[in-house]
Structure 1
């Protein structure tokens, strides 16, 4: 399971939402071997007065938070991060300087999905990749 939250300035994020969604999902599928039909994303377009960021970032500044079942290898998580930086720059022309990525891993038992604790689910994909 991967839940993705994407934050950015409303006027910059809204026009690229669909393409950014595709890019993020392709990276998650490739790096974490997630099934293509497991796409869970939330976009948070922010008003300027609600989105502060450090000097050196532009209006394209984008924050990506990814929540995962624990179990992915360090290599898989790093591959996901590298793919995201690369494809976001190549396909959306957003510099890696303007992208921040955080991965949060929690035990399956901390998730509730389809009426069950996550550790009781029958998954059709591997978590330990």
Structure 2
């Protein structure tokens, strides 16, 4: 399970919201074994005054903050990040220079999912790969 916040220019998000969401989901399914239908994406479109970034970033600049339940290997998370970068470029037109990703890993004991604490859940094997 991933919870994702996507910050970007409001104009870009208005046009590319679905492509960005699809790219994020595609990488999660491919590299982390997430279910096709399970998405928790929140888009925060900002105007220029509220989205201050280096001058070398363009209109497609995104900051993607991903909250993931702990337990996956560094290798799996690295593969996910690489797949995410490629998918966002291929499907949403976000160049590598316009993408910042922050992956925040939290122990299962600090999650509550559908009324259950994360470490009480029976998780599929792909969560720990």
The TM-score by the shorter chain falls in which range?
A: over 0.9
Partner of 2:24: 24
Shift of 1:125: 5.2
Distance in structure 2 (CA, Å) of the matches to 1:68 and 1:110: 11
Question: 2:115 matched to which residue of 1?
Answer: 115
Residue aligning to 2:106:
106
1:78 is matched with 78
Within a 5 Å distance, the mapping from 1:6-21 to structure 2 comes to 6-21=6-21
- 1:37 Cα deviation (Å)? 2.5
**Residue ranges of structure 2 left out of the alignment (5+ in a row):** none
Encode CA deviations 1:39-87: one digit per residue, 9 max, x unaligned: 1111111121111111211121101111111111111111111111112
CA contact (8 A) 2:60 2:93 kept: no
Q: Which residue of 1 aligns with 2:87?
A: 87
Tell me the C-alpha RMSD between the 2 structures.
1.3
TM-score, normalization by structure 2: 0.93
Counterparts of 2:2 and 2:69, CA distance in 1: 7
1:2 aligns to 2:2 (yes or no): yes
- Any unmatched runs of 5+ in structure 1? none
CA contact (8 A) 2:57 2:98 kept: yes
- Residue 37 (structure 2) pairs with residue 37 (structure 1): yes
Q: Is residue 2:41 matched to residue 1:52?
A: no
